[in-house]
Amino acid sequence: MDKFVIGGGRKLYGSVRAQSAKNSVLPLLAASVLTEEPVVIHETPPITDVFSMAEILRGLGAEVKFCGEDAVIDCSRASVHRIPPSLTRELRSSVFMLGSLLARFRRAACAYPGGCDIGLRPIDLHLNALKRLGVEIREREGYITCACTQLKGAEIVLDFPSVGATENILLAAVRAEGTTTLYGAAKEPEIVDLQNFLNAMGAKVRGAGTDVIAIEGVERLHGVRFTPVKDRIEAGSLLIACAICGGEVEVEGVRGETLGLLLHKLRENGCKIHTKNDKIRIAGTGRLKCNRRIETMPYPGFPTDLQAQMTALNAGAEGDCLIVENLFETRYKYVPELMKMGADIEVRGRNAFVRGAERLHGASVTCGDLRGGAALILAALGAEGESEVLDLSHVDRGYAAFEQKLTSLGAAVKRVRI
């Protein structure tokens, strides 16, 4: 197990480029099953979630190689439609494989997916949508078995704009017979990226980025070389780090409109923000002011994946802030660790009441999930004294060499094996 030793109180300066988006790369890897020709995904981040998805693909019979920053996937010999439970329970995004496997083999089986413990995250929306496409589904003892003779296009309505369900429907419907129209689709930039990837393979998908997506099924898809969109959540985390620490940082690779509400909130805190093309520059000046209210919503609302980081910011700002988490019911598990650093936070259900402290202090804290772990790291960067952040396995799921990017900006962060 690794830990970070962090010396707080240093201002951040410089420029850093965002990695490719974890939440894009994982469904792209799942989509590689749809063709028997090679797929190359450029600039693949070396994070453990990517390596876990690669192991799932290998378990299906695919060949996966990492050549520098490229992931090269050859699914021509893939023949297994059952995902090992040990891998499924490690990675939430393994659920994307249901759509891909059904499109390729007309069969799929997996255990209920795992990932971070931030709530129930039921997959009913996924399963109900697959049933609309003609899939028979059996659920027994924590295992899901799916089969069909032919996927058939249908009209599907999502009661909630689930990112995962939207992506699973796209993956299944691209090789279905006829046209599928999805209403109530998620609008995230990563959905647009998946559409672009599939269309580059020969699919006929339109409407991604809106709440209505049309998928005209095709008989086969071909190989592709593709560069994913950059990670707006990593970019947002770096911007928040600069806001907490002070200084001036430019993050390259992410367009400001994909982080619109975050940038608005950072301006409320007192930061100066400038955007141009795919560059965002932030300058933190003086004591931050608390946001009055932050409420997570589906895109383009405030991202749930940045809620913990902004809670850490407000914990050391002037005033009071109400955080409302609408997407995941147990996403405040990081709060007791943040309170070890002097944060004054009261959690009631989906609400967190934050009373800003003069300054947080160093402490020994433990990561319990990916984004909560990032929040603890950011809090430690701005805290007085030295902190240690334990169990980086969660953080390594989504941030590639996070300490190297932070130290390149002037932070005092050291990874230590324990």
| Burial annotation 153-188 (CB, 10 A radius, 16+ → b, else e) | bbebebeebbbbbbbbbbbbbbbbeeebbbebbbbb
Rounded CA-CA distance 313/345 in Å is: 12
Of 115, 113, 233, 235, nearest to 168 (Cα)? 113
367 in catalytic set: no
The two structure tokens encoding residue 129: 């949508």
Question: Tokens 């202090």 belong to which residue?
Answer: 361
Which strands make up the sheet holding 344-348, listed edge to edge?
A: 293-295, 320-324, 351-355, 344-348
Rounded CA-CA distance 135/273 in Å is: 48
Provide the CA 411 distance to its chain's centre, in angstroms: 24
Which strands make up the sheet holding 212-216, listed edge to edge?
A: 155-157, 179-183, 212-216, 204-206
Rounded CA-CA distance 338/365 in Å is: 8
Classify residue 397 by its DSSP letter. G
The answer to whether 410 and 397 are in contact (CB under 8 A) is no
Of 198, 150, 163, nearest to 32 (Cα)? 198
Q: Which of 67, 75, 110, 116 is catalytic?
A: 116
The two structure tokens encoding residue 381: 């960067």
Q: Which residues pair with 361 in a beta bridge?
A: 384
Rounded CA-CA distance 391/178 in Å is: 48
The two structure tokens encoding residue 193: 């990226």
Alpha-helix residue ranges (DSSP H) falling in 15-161: 22-31, 48-59, 85-88, 97-105, 124-132
How many alpha carbons fall within 13 Å on the CB side of residue 321?
A: 30
The residues that are catalytic are 116
